[in-house]
């Protein structure tokens, strides 16, 4: 979706519940033998309703959508404000382990170049002069170093808007498949890219199982999926639903009722993951929101549209998009119910639904994002709803952060402090912790002393104590593990503003 999300409409439903962040399982080892010990290493495959890593360990996608490559900017949004590495670091520090990157086929054109990238003060320096695909290369590489997996999402045929079918008069099926194969080949040697979402939100007249090759999305998904696997047989193939099946309509891409009778069958077994989208009233009003039983009615709705696939052990189910502005009480109840339906990691581990929240971006008009409009401040209410379904981080390749090396295997870290906004009576700041040693660290502690009367008013992604002007912040459960050379971040609000930036110390263990 992008829409500034006004292009979306359709039917279906979803829900959620909040709990506490979960401990991360990020492995710091960079060699294959040690990386294989941590869940998530290598390419993935499916087994029944679970996704397994290369070593057969179950994994859970708990991620975020970062859109922009599918728009007229031809690059992820927000680079007009921040460095791409700092945003990926922040995603990781919040406990997201996967990023879904929407794109359009326009990025394959030789004339396509990204715009709205800020290069001032050293930001995004290594993106200067690159085309859109080359920028994607850098984002994928850095995400992999940071321990994030990447799902590439063919969101639109072109930047002009969403299409009902996987092809248009300007972008035929042959172009769609050729571009999918090009991406599969481009990242064939990089297991950070775990798979491709073949097409975003097929909707009427798209059908499932009707047999008409011009509109049968299930048959098209088989053609495209087999083409992808012919280039890289290790990738997962993510297949969204349609809008209407046997006269019953749902959200665009969210109706997977036909899978039971007409499953997607690919040439390589254990590669299909079905994907549903689900939204709240900030996107569209639906009948189930006004049901007197709401929100208790929602699990039954989800069971019917897509949940049965997981519950009957047919295949894994990934809720590739769900989101809300979280303004209305109905939307708050919906999100709480959906998160609960997705199964808390503390109770079920990786035997759960997979998910990527919509969106990281604040400029999604009918949902907003995890980030607020300044592209720095975290919407802690939204992020908090997702805490119970966040899952362990994955092993990175170790070069993800901005830090340098250290001597021997002694645990060491460094921290940098930056004020992101100051309005006089208060301010927001972010602290980046970098592992400067040669081995992974399991925890960190950061301290500073203000020379003025500043007090922390709230903090996210770390816990803190304050005595006088001295603040000590300790990692949260999900971001204590940092690979050698990697970075994590936490943020806080304070008052009053106007204070000098203090010196910061970091201790690692």
Of 70, 173, 201, 240, the catalytic one is 201
- 236-240 and 272-279 beta bridge pairing: parallel
Task: For residue 136, give Cα distances in angstroms to 30, 74, 208, 299.
Answer: 23, 10, 32, 37
Residue 276 has phi, psi (to 5 degrees) of -115, 150
Evaluate the omega torsion of the peptide bond into residue 38 and state whether it is cis, within 30 degrees of 0. no
| Cross-sheet strand order for the sheet of 444-449 | 462-467, 470-475, 444-449, 504-508
How many alpha carbons lie under 13 Å from residue 21 in its C-beta half-sphere?
24
Query: CA-to-CA distance for 71 and 363, rounded, in angstroms?
Result: 12
240 an active-site residue?
no
Strands 455-460 and 470-475: unpaired
Q: Which two tokens stand for residue 484?
A: 């050698």
The whole-angstrom separation of Cα 499 and Cα 481 is: 31
- From CA 345, how far away is CA 156, in angstroms rounded? 32
How far is 426 from 494, CA to CA, in rounded Å? 6
In contact, 316 and 274? CB cutoff 8 Å = yes
> Which of 70, 173, 240, 321 is an active site residue?
321
Cα separation, 28 vs 441, whole angstroms: 7
DSSP assignment string, 418-445: EEEEE-SS-EEEEEEEEE-SSS-BS-EE
| Residue 389, CB-side half-sphere exposure with 13 Å CA sphere | 30
201 is catalytic: yes
Please identify every residue annotated as catalytic: 201, 321
């Amino acid at each position: 979706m992008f829409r500034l999300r006004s292009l979306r409409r359709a039917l279906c439903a979803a829900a959620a519940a909040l709990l506490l962040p979960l401990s991360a399982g990020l492995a710091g080892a960079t060699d294959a033998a040690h990386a294989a010990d941590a869940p998530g290493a290598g390419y993935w495959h499916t087994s029944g309703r679970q996704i397994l890593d290369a070593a057969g360990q179950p994994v859970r996608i708990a991620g975020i959508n970062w859109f922009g490559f599918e728009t007229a900017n031809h690059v992820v949004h927000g680079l007009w404000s921040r460095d791409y590495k700092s945003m990926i670091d922040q995603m990781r520090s919040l406990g997201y382990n996967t990023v879904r990157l929407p794109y359009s086929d326009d990025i394959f054109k030789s004339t396509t170049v990204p715009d709205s990238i800020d290069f001032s003060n050293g930001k995004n320096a290594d993106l200067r002069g690159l085309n859109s695909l080359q920028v994607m290369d850098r984002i994928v590489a850095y995400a992999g170093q940071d321990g994030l997996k990447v799902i590439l999402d063919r969101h639109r045929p072109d930047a002009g808007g969403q299409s009902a079918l996987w092809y248009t008069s300007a972008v035929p099926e042959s172009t769609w498949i050729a571009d999918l194969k090009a991406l599969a080949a481009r990242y064939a040697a990089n297991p950070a890219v775990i798979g491709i979402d073949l097409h975003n939100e097929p909707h009427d007249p798209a059908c499932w199982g009707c047999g008409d090759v011009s509109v049968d999305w299930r048959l098209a998904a088989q053609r495209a999926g087999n083409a992808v696997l012919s280039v890289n047989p290790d990738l997962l193939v993510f297949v969204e639903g349609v809008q209407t099946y046997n006269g019953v309509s749902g959200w665009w891409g969210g109706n997977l009722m036909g899978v039971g009778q007409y499953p997607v069958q690919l040439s390589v077994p254990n590669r299909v993951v079905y994907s549903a989208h689900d939204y709240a009233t900030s996107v569209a009003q639906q009948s189930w929101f006004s049901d007197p039983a709401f929100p208790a009615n929602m699990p039954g709705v989800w069971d019917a549209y897509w949940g049965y696939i997981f519950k009957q052990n047919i295949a894994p189910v990934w809720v590739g998009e769900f989101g809300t502005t979280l303004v209305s009480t109905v939307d708050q109840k919906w999100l709480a119910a959906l998160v609960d339906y997705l199964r808390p990691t503390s109770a079920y581990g990786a035997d759960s639904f997979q998910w990527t929240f919509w969106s990281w971006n604040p400029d999604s008009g009918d949902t907003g994002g995890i980030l607020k409009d300044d592209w720095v401040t975290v919407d802690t209410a939204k992020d908090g709803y997702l805490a119970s379904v966040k899952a362990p981080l994955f092993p990175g390749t170790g070069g993800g952060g901005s830090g340098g090396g250290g001597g021997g295997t002694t645990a060491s870290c460094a921290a940098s402090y930056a004020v992101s906004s100051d309005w006089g009576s208060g301010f927001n700041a972010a602290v980046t912790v970098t592992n400067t040693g040669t081995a992974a660290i399991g925890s960190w502690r950061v301290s500073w002393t203000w020379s003025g009367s500043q007090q922390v008013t709230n903090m996210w992604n770390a816990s803190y104590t304050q005595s006088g002007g001295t603040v000590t912040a300790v990692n949260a459960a999900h971001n204590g593990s940092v690979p050698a050379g990697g970075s994590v971040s936490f943020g806080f609000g304070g008052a009053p503003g106007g204070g000098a930036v203090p010196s910061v110390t970091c201790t690692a263990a």
